[in-house]
């Protein structure tokens, strides 16, 4: 479970520092810069705005049917790009342990679910990974919101690995508050 509230998904391309630029003409603006696509451009109103962007080149080696995200990243990739002390929607920068989850839109309720705990049990696969369940259950605490998540709860990798084989990526669950 790694989500950033108020983030906007998108794509990135390689931008060569062209001068003159549409925003600043021939005045150099450094090298940590970007060009905005048509949907962002808004007749130049975006000039000077800054964006927090995380980039890493990954190689596609597999198919992830049913994955909620655009890419299912390896733990090594996540360790490079994820800020594990990133602020959560419920608790800001206060650590809440590793047995945590983010709530999907259907559970979020404007944040009323923050701090609630759920006993979660894997009930089966959602993809071709056979027998993903470990037979164990885990109690997780909701600490974040996962807007647009396909699942009900987005478990931390530590919580997920207790109840299922991480290779499965997505599983069917039963959960009780």
Per residue in 61-95, pLDDT (tens digit) is: 566 555 555 555 566 655 555 544 456 888 887 88
Give me the chain's average pLDDT, please.
Answer: 73
pLDDT value of residue 67: 52
Distance CA(89)–CA(9), nearest Å, equals 18
pLDDT band at 113 (very low <50, low <70, confident <90, very high): very high
pTM of the model: 0.55
- pLDDT at residue 44 is higher than 70: yes
Contact status, residue 89 vs residue 144, Cβ threshold 8 Å:
yes
Give the CATH fold of the 87-176 domain.
Barwin-like endoglucanases (2.40.40)
The full set of domain ranges for the chain reads 87-176
Q: Average pLDDT of 20-32?
A: 71
pLDDT in tens, 118-162: 999 999 988 888 899 999 999 999 998 887 776 788 888 889 999
């Amino acid at each position: 479970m790694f989500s950033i509230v108020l983030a906007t998904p998108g794509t990135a391309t390689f931008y060569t520092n062209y001068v003159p630029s549409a925003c600043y003409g021939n005045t150099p603006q450094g090298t940590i810069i970007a060009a905005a696509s048509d949907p962002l451009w808004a007749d130049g109103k975006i000039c000077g705005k800054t964006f927090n962007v995380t980039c890493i080149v990954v190689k596609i080696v597999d198919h992830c049917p049913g994955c909620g995200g655009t890419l299912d990243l390896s733990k090594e990739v996540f360790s490079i790009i994820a800020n594990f002390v990133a602020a959560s929607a419920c608790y800001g920068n206060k650590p809440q342990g590793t047995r945590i989850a983010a709530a999907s839109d259907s559970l979020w309720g404007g944040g009323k679910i923050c701090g609630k705990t759920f006993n979660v049990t894997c009930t089966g696969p959602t993809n071709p990974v056979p027998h993903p369940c470990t037979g164990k259950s885990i109690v997780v605490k909701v600490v974040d919101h996962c807007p647009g998540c396909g699942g009900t709860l987005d478990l931390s990798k530590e919580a997920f690995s207790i109840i299922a084989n991480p290779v499965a990526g997505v599983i069917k669950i039963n959960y009780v508050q």
